[in-house]
């Protein structure tokens, strides 16, 4: 193995004899024939013509499995060289090749096509020629040959963040985000971080991984982010497993391990078991019984209750207490006609010999009538109504006292308290 190897090849076109030395010269240069997996290998393709090129050359694409090809910034540059004492002009294109796995690589036989000015007439001339076989080998250091997948870098770190509580109820969710940052190579080499699990306690809902890459003078670095939301399915103690990745440090020449710890979760509140057929039959029977009772209440009991409530309402309207409230309300409104009607209804509940107790009340009402309807100055003074109210309460109290003291039953309904 040659540690660093470079060569160039000049292709000349033959058509029935040796071509003119004025025909274009196309060659390539490869930095080395061996490279470490994940590290860049620079391939340069150079095109020179004796005059000039009105258009840029058409360079080939180099598509090979497990080989990442990048064109760096300002990959194509103008060049010039002295050939046979004359200055030739041209362009040079640089490719960066990143092998992603160990093994031998053979680039496809691409073709370079150019247009240049004829040295004698300056008319445009089209010219094309295939590249020769270009191959190289990608290898792993001996100590890294057991790594699967091979992660060779100048730096590698793992981080995790948890969104949610470690104590969950069935149906709750928690989100785990794993981030891997790599230095000195492409993040495409970072393997899957979250390990697949056949456990049924947590149901994972992963998002698509997000891979970002940056380049600094041909040195790649980047990040891979994986976000997974887990929904608790059953109760118990469940672990989101530790994530550990072995990698080879290109600067120290040693195997190192990047890891994040496991996350323990406690899930409570298992969902209830589905009902048995016997339970369903029992519930249906209870529901039918409840409907039957409800129908019976609606059919027979409700009308009876309604009749009883109507009777209670009629009893209340025919009671002394109801008549008494009507008298008090009429006096409060100072409505003489309403007082006379209400008082007449109330008297029906008073004993026949209660006229003496009502004499003063009748006189007061007469004063109110005289003040309102009499000849001369009419004055329906508030004092008259206060006197009517006081005399009514006094008369009712006397009648109630007399009734309670009486030892005989009256044919009239009793006074309500």
| Strands (E) located in 50-189 | 67-70, 76-83, 86-99, 103-107, 111-117, 124-130, 134-139, 152-153, 155-163, 167-169, 173-183
Write down the mean pLDDT value for the chain: 83
User: Is residue 328 located within the same domain as residue 364?
Assistant: yes
Boundary-marking domain end, from 88, 121, 139: 139
| pLDDT reported for residue 379 | 56
Boundary-marking domain end, from 139, 168, 190: 139
User: Is residue 115 located within the same domain as residue 161?
Assistant: no
User: Is residue 212 located within the same domain as residue 234?
Assistant: yes
Q: Dihedral of the CA atoms 243, 248, 251, 254 (nearest 10)?
A: 100
User: Is residue 34 located within the same domain as residue 135?
Assistant: yes
CATH number at residue 132: 2.60.40
User: Is residue 263 located within the same domain as residue 162?
Assistant: yes
| pLDDT reported for residue 401 | 79
Q: Quote the CA–CA distance of 21 and 12 in Å, as a whole number.
A: 8
Lowest mean pLDDT among 109-113, 117-121, 356-360, 383-387: 356-360
* 93-148 pLDDT, tens digit each: 999 999 999 999 999 888 899 999 999 899 999 999 888 889 999 999 999 999 98
Q: Quote the CA–CA distance of 129 and 9 in Å, as a whole number.
A: 12
Range of the domain at 347: 320-405
Q: What is the pLDDT confidence band of residue 21, given thresholds at 50, 70 and 90?
A: low
Within a domain: 254: yes
Region 192-220: what's the mean pLDDT? 86
Within a domain: 306: no
User: Is residue 174 located within the same domain as residue 209?
Assistant: yes
User: Is residue 147 located within the same domain as residue 247?
Assistant: yes
| pLDDT reported for residue 19 | 39
In 3D space, the residue among 62, 34, 29, 65 whose CA is nearest the CA of residue 48 turns out to be 29
Which tokens sit at 221? 């670095």
User: Is residue 162 located within the same domain as residue 175?
Assistant: yes
Boundary-marking domain end, from 139, 160, 190: 139
User: Is residue 247's pLDDT more than 90?
Assistant: yes
User: Is residue 104 located within the same domain as residue 68?
Assistant: yes
User: Is residue 389 located within the same domain as residue 340?
Assistant: yes
pTM exceeding 0.85: no
Region 174-180: what's the mean pLDDT? 95
Q: Are 245 and 158 in contact (CB under 8 A)?
A: yes
Total number of domains in the chain: 3
Within a domain: 5: no
Within a domain: 298: no
Place of tokens 């247009």: 115
User: Is residue 130 located within the same domain as residue 214?
Assistant: no
User: Is residue 128 located within the same domain as residue 38?
Assistant: yes
């Amino acid at each position: 193995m040659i540690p660093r190897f470079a060569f160039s090849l000049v292709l000349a076109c033959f058509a029935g004899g040796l071509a003119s030395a004025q025909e274009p010269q196309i060659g390539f240069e490869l930095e080395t024939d061996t490279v470490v997996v994940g590290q860049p290998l620079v391939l340069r393709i150079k095109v020179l013509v004796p005059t000039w090129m009105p258009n840029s050359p058409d360079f080939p694409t180099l598509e090979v499995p497990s080989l990442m090809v990048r064109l760096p910034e300002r990959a194509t540059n103008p060049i010039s060289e002295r050939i046979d004492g004359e200055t030739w002009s041209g362009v040079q294109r640089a490719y960066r090749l990143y092998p992603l796995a160990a093994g031998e690589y053979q680039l496809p036989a691409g073709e370079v096509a150019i247009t240049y000015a004829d040295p004698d007439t300056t008319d445009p001339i089209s010219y094309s020629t295939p590249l020769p076989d270009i191959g190289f080998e990608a290898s792993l250091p001996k100590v890294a040959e057991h790594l699967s997948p091979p992660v060779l870098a100048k730096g590698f770190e793992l981080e995790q963040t948890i969104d949610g509580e470690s104590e969950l109820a069935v149906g709750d969710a928690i989100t785990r985000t794993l981030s891997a940052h790599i230095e000195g190579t492409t993040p495409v080499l970072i393997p899957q971080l979250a390990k697949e699990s056949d456990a049924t306690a947590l149901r994972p809902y992963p998002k698509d991984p997000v891979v970002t890459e940056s380049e600094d003078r041909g040195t790649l670095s980047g990040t891979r982010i994986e976000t997974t939301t887990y929904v608790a399915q059953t109760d118990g103690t469940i672990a989101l497993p530790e994530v550990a990745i072995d990698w080879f440090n290109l600067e120290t020449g040693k195997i190192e391990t990047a890891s994040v710890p496991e996350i323990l979760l406690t899930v409570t509140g298992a969902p209830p078991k589905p009902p048995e057929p016997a339970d369903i039959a029992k519930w249906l029977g209870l529901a039918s019984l409840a409907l039957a009772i409800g129908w019976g209440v609606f059919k027979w009991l409700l009308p009876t209750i309604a009749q009883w409530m109507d009777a209670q309402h009629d009893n209340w309207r025919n009671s002394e207490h109801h008549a008494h409230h009507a008298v008090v309300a009429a006096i409060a409104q100072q409505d003489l006609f309403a007082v006379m009607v209400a008082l007449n209804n109330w008297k029906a509940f008073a004993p026949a010999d209660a006229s003496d107790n009502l004499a003063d009340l009748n006189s007061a009402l007469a004063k109110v009538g005289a003040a309102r309807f009499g000849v001369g100055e009419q004055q329906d003074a508030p004092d008259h109504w206060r006197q009517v109210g006081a005399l009514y309460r006094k008369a009712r109290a006397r009648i109630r006292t007399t009734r309670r003291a009486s030892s005989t039953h009256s044919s009239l309904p009793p006074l309500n308290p």
